[in-house]
Amino acid sequence: MNTRKIEQNGVEIAIVTSNEELITDVQSALDFMATVSYETGCNRIVLNKSAICEEFFDLKTRLAGEILQKFINYRTKIAIVGDFSSYSSKSLKDFIYESNNGRDIFFLSNEEQAIEKLSRV
């Protein structure tokens, strides 16, 4: 896991990249949040999509809902960055659309969009 901290519009954001899966279940998501918070002091995080297990994107597993609820509960905003066009599930596309229109969880195509979204919300 590679973490760096930036500041934009007076908001500190942790940018996390990893070549391995960091979030595979609820406990690993909690551990991830705690680690990032401890290392950076940030409660806004940009994370690459490849650091999240593929089951997360299958809404039938309920993993996305359980994990993202923890981010909400701990007042941590997250932007997941990557290419989501390969998913054909209408419910996932609807979920991404609704999330992107909210204030806490975003699914965006690049880091610049993620920083922009997290720095003004």
Q: What is the pTM of this model?
A: 0.95
Name, in order, each residue with C-beta under 8 angstroms of 23's C-beta and a sequence gap of 6 or more. 29, 32, 47, 51, 52, 53, 56, 67
pLDDT in tens, 50-99: 999 999 999 999 999 999 999 999 999 999 999 999 999 999 999 999 99
Number of domains in the chain: 1
C-alpha to C-alpha distance for 82 and 99, rounded to whole angstroms: 15
The chain-wide mean pLDDT, for the chain, equals: 96
Q: Which domain holds residue 24?
A: 2-120
CATH number at residue 52: 3.30.750
